[in-house]
Structure 1
Amino acid sequence: MKISINTKNYKKVKADLEIILINEIEDTKDEEVLEALDFKAVDEACILLPESKKIYVGFEDDTYDSIAIAIATAVKKLQSTKYKTAKIDLSSGALSENVKALIEGALLGSYTFDRYKSEKKEKKKQELIFVVEDEASINEVLNDSKVIAKAVNKARDMVNSTPQDFYPIVMADLAKELAVDAGIDCKVYGENFLEKNHMNAMLSVGRASVHESQLIHMSYKPKNAKKKIVLVGKGLTYDSGGLSLKPADFMVTMKLDKAGGCAVMATLWAVAKLGLPYEVHGIVGAVENMVGGDAYKPDDVLVAKNGKTIEVRNTDAEGRLVLADCLCYAQDEIEDIDYIFDYATLTGACVVGVGEYTTGIMGNDDILKRNAVLSALKSGEYATTLDFNRYLRKTIKSEVADICNIASTRYGGAITAGIFLDNFICEENKDKWIHFDIAGPAYAQKSWGYNPYGGSGAGVRMTIEFLKGLGK
């Protein structure tokens, strides 16, 4: 979907269709027709009037989400037709204040993934024309939002790729490609490096796979960087559960378990393209958790990079083991960190607790957590905090090692996973760290809003919004 800007008088701009966003049908030119068709001006309501060449789409409020859903709905309607161009009037009114939502909603809503279809639909060359009074006033928003939406769609592509052709070395090679495109550094380390650097937790998870585990380190270092941020992502290219094998129906969609790592890679690409004035590092543990004669086992005791010992009670609680070593690596290799964020499809418990659409945010600093939630909401993502407490902290204690990789209780599983990761955060970084559990929103088995079936790119927009907000 091409987006262009036009500053002519709206009536003089030529287009096949008009897109009109409304929150009430009164006083519209086609009020009688809309009433006769029982059209309601609510979210995701859309109707095409071929005679007048108009698409009417409803929205319920002026929030990012409602506006983005509306334009995405209209774009999907446009894609279902043979019309090539559509225009929308942004010269005045509420919509002129929601350009970011309109651009990102249109680009995210027009996304399709058909790589594995034997018969692919012909890509239509369609254009959405935003008619504005002053082009200069929205150029920056347009350019930034195009980059952000492209980054989200890159993450979606990665998440949607199947495990047969997206395994650790492929993920590492793609990270290198993204780095070259963005003009940033990328280093990749294999299992010899993991062994030499005592990253035994991550190493053990990938031991039974025929695909070698990869540690990916992407670095964006602009001159005179104002802050230093580290993003760490869980990159389980496939998770069978290991010897604690998942039930068959739970194993389907486990290609999604790399979503945290994909979000980190896409975000690093976007940060460089946007030229943000911060040094940003992306650390991804790309691993495949499989079953085999050399698989790590329940009852094993693993020694992480920081020397902590971990009793394995469930090999399906593997993402936290990978993240543990990646977090240690990041803090050992990078000095003077201002923020360290990790992203993972970590627990089904988070989905049970806060639903399919919401990220669970955990950490030790209340203000930092609230700022992260605010950034998520401003960017169009849903998030909420899940607080640590001393009682759940006791549930991951081990009788034979320092900690267990799962808790002794079935309740509060998202929080106990976050508490586990807290054991691998150095004291000086405790209040700089946030854990994002994106298990719910990272992958959907039905379309919602401007997100299609499959990967959503969760984490990308809220992280960029947080980083851009640091300068305000």
Structure 2
Amino acid sequence: MAFAQLQIVSSLADAYSKDGADALILIGNFDSVDDSALAEVIQQAKITDQRVGKQPLLLKADGVPGQRLVAAPTGPLNRDFDDVRQVFDAAHAAAKMAQDAGARHPVIALNNVNINDERYKQAFLAAYLGLCQALYQPLEAREAHGEEAIEPTKSVILVGELDADWAMAVEAGKRVARDLAGTEPERMAPPRFAEYCRQAFAHTAVKVTVIDDSQQLQHEYPLLAAVGRSSMAVERHRPCVIRLEYHGSKPERTVMFAGKGIVYDTGGADLKVGGHMAGMSRDKGGAAGVAGFLKTVAELQPEHLNVIAEIGAVRNSIGSDAFVADEIITGHSGKRVRIGNTDAEGRLIMADLLSHLREEAA
């Protein structure tokens, strides 16, 4: 899983001395610039280009790594509606510009961002995450073209104060979540969703267990099995439950998550029509968020925490065996559920997952 690795330095001089540094991304308000050499470059650019300070621009700057300066303005940061998202957005906009210009190891620095203001205490993290999100390429594209080809930025050097390991762990989790939530329905059908999780947590402290036996699902997760009933006949679409477990060495607390993983939501017998089915491969965002959180936990390995998650990966297919409105199904909890609309499938699979976790918590 490749993404821009983070290095932290305390000054621009330290950043410029790093091997491979090839651009500077300067983020902030450019009404004034702390560094006199950079101030002169930006002031000269303003003479001929009114966009300077209003939108991200690539400027030639002697003395800057690669002679590439990407001036990424946030606008004013002192109004009552300003917040750290402006730093994120500026980094996001500048990252692709620097990469397209040929930079592979950019430096990020903030200008006129008051990190003592409560709103901007996470400004360094926001800058790094904004850059990473901009440079992220979908899983389908990475598998088709290779990560090396379409995600060429290898590292970022940040001038500031930030725990690099913590920031990269957060980005690793976000990347897993993006992959699982955004990938098309065949590539992320339930069995392949499970296989992605196995690969993402290989060689980590997170244990992955996959329940995919149809009889076991019908017995232990009957509501989930009903949602996936019409997909059982297609092997590549068969539902499963993915259990993720992390156990800290000195646990003080256990947290549990249930993840809704509707990998494709046709609506079932209450079929989505009129073009409303487009985008329904993203009805697995809850499951993606849970798996992404566990990825961050796997990277950080907190001693004090246990995390247990169950993800229901199901395709709500339409067919002769589809569950229908007016059916009454007894869930794992023993509660009898009357189906009112088959497009309300998410709450059904969540009910079985939560029932299992409730028993375990007790």
* Distance in 1 (alpha carbons) for counterparts of 2:352 and 2:289: 19
**Matching residue's letter, 1:254:** M
Partner residue of 1:229 out of 249, 255, 264: 255
Change (3 A) 1:312 1:58: same
1:246 aligns with 272
Q: What residue number does 2:159 align with?
A: 131
- Post-superposition shift, 1:31? 2.5
Q: 2:222 aligns with which of 180, 200, 207?
A: 200
| 2:191 partner amino acid | I
What secondary structure does 1:182 align onto? coil
Deviation at 1:5, TM superposition (A): 2.9
User: Is the contact made by 1:244 and 1:315 (CA closer than 8 Å) also made in structure 2?
Assistant: yes
TM-score when normalising by structure 2: 0.81
Partner of 1:13: 16
Q: Is the 8 A contact 2:45 2:52 kept in 1?
A: no
Contact 1:233 1:261 in 2 (8 A): yes
The answer for unaligned runs of 5 or more in structure 2 is 34-38, 63-67
Q: Which residue of 1 aligns with 2:114?
A: 94
Alpha-carbon distance between aligned partners in 1 of 2:127 and 2:215, rounded to the nearest angstrom: 48
Distance 1:304 1:74, change over 3 A: same
Question: Which residue of 257, 262, 267 maps to 2:293?
Answer: 267
Once residues 227 and 31 of structure 1 are traced to their aligned partners in structure 2, the CA distance between those partners, rounded to angstroms, is 54
Q: Distance in 1 between matches of 2:308 and 2:153?
A: 37
Task: Give the secondary-structure state (helix, strand or coil) at the position aligned to 1:297.
Answer: coil
| TM-score, structure 1 normalization | 0.63
Displacement of 1:106 in angstroms is 1.9
**Cα distance in structure 2, aligned partners of 1:230 and 1:314:** 28
How far does the alpha carbon of each residue in 1:252-304 deviate from its partner, in whole angstroms, 9 at most, with x for none?
Answer: 11110111111111211211221222111111111110111111011111222
Where do residues 44-443 of structure 1 align in structure 2 (5 Å cutoff)?
A: 45-50=55-60, 53-60=68-75, 61=77, 63-89=83-109, 94=114, 97=121, 98-113=123-138, 115-116=140-141, 122-132=150-160, 138=162, 141-190=163-212, 191-197=214-220, 199-209=221-231, 210=234, 211-276=237-302, 277-335=304-362
1:4 to 7, 21, 25: 7
Question: Greater shift after overlay, 57-66 or 265-274?
Answer: 57-66
Q: Deviations over 1:77-109 (max 9, x none)?
A: 101212344323469963695222222222222
| SS in structure 2 of the partner of residue 55 of structure 1 | strand
Give the residue type in structure 1 aligned to 2:158. Answer: F
Q: 1:50 to 1:310 in 2, by over 3 A?
A: same
SS in 1 for 2:106: strand
**Which amino acid letter does the alignment assign opposite residue 176 of structure 2?**
K
Query: Secondary structure of 1:181's match?
Result: coil
Q: What is the identity, as a one-letter code, of the residue corresponding to 2:229?
A: R
